[in-house]
Amino acid sequence: MYTEAVMDHFYNPRNAGELADADGVGEAGNPVCGDIMKIYVKIEDDRIADISFQTFGCGAAIATSSILTELVKGKTVAEAEKITNRAVAEALGGLPPQKMHCSNLAADAFHKALEAYRQNRPKPAPAAE
């Protein structure tokens, strides 16, 4: 049912836990299945310097959160923004159809974290005339 990659990321999740000094935090959940994901991002020089997650959910939810962090860590914000739910699922070698919503949640939470980062960062001072 699950690929070897899904099982590896479930049993050995990467970048799990809270990131205390995050520049942005995004959360996504599905009340029907009960999965809830929180993604934390730290941005330095327009790159994803650090990223972590907290996920309450099934094995697929944990695996998609874990692989997402590996896919975007070190990328520029512009590169990372292009990560889709399909890319998350493909990086795991696919997910059963009934678990595809898990990859949607990981990507959704990540994009919400980037949006929170944009809203939280200081605005540049207007240019002097």
pLDDT single digits (tens) 34-43: 889 999 999 9
Q: Is residue 9 part of a domain?
A: yes
Q: Is 58 considered catalytic here?
A: no
Which has the closest alpha carbon to 46: 69, 80, 88?
80
Q: So what's the pLDDT on residue 80? A: 97
Average pLDDT over residues 70-93: 95
Domain limits for position 61: 4-119
pLDDT single digits (tens) 7-44: 999 999 999 999 999 999 999 998 777 889 999 999 99
Catalytic residue among 95, 102, 106, 107: 102
Q: Is residue 57 part of a domain?
A: yes
Catalytic residue among 5, 16, 33, 36: 33
- Total number of domains in the chain: 1
Check whether 89 has a pLDDT greater than 70. Answer: yes
Contact 106, 65 (CB under 8 A): yes
Which tokens belong to 31? 């009340």
> What CATH number does residue 50 fall under?
3.90.1010.10
Distance between CA 35 and CA 75 in Å, rounded? 27
**For residue 117, is it left (φ>0), alpha (ψ between -120 and 50) or beta?**
alpha
> Alpha helices of the chain — where are they, by DSSP H?
4-11, 59-72, 77-81, 85-91, 100-120
